[in-house]
Amino acid sequence: NFDGSSTFQSGGSNSDMYLDPAAMFRDPFRKDPNKLVFCEVFKYNRKPAETNLRHTCKRIMDM
């Protein structure tokens, strides 16, 4: 988890944010063994953050 108020993703109270890995790729720039990890961001209550567009896209694609 991380403090969402430090990244302007949350207010001062209940600012804990959580990252949930969604996909991992080989880093094409720094090469192996480096990886790029795409994550979904969730608020302290485990609901998707407003900036979590991946969650919205996945919900639509799963219809």
The confidence score (pLDDT) of residue 61 equals 92
List the CATH number of the domain containing 9: 3.10.20.70
pTM of the model: 0.72
The confidence score (pLDDT) of residue 8 equals 65
Could you list the residue range(s) of the whole structural domain that residue 35 is in? Answer: 2-61
Across the 63 residues of the chain, what is the mean pLDDT of every consecutive 10-residue run?
74 82 96 95 91 89 91
The confidence score (pLDDT) of residue 20 equals 93
How far is Cα 62 from Cα 57, in angstroms, rounded to an integer? 9
Query: Parallel, antiparallel, or unpaired: how do β-strands 35-42 and 2-3 relate?
Result: unpaired
The confidence score (pLDDT) of residue 51 equals 87
Total domain count, the chain: 1
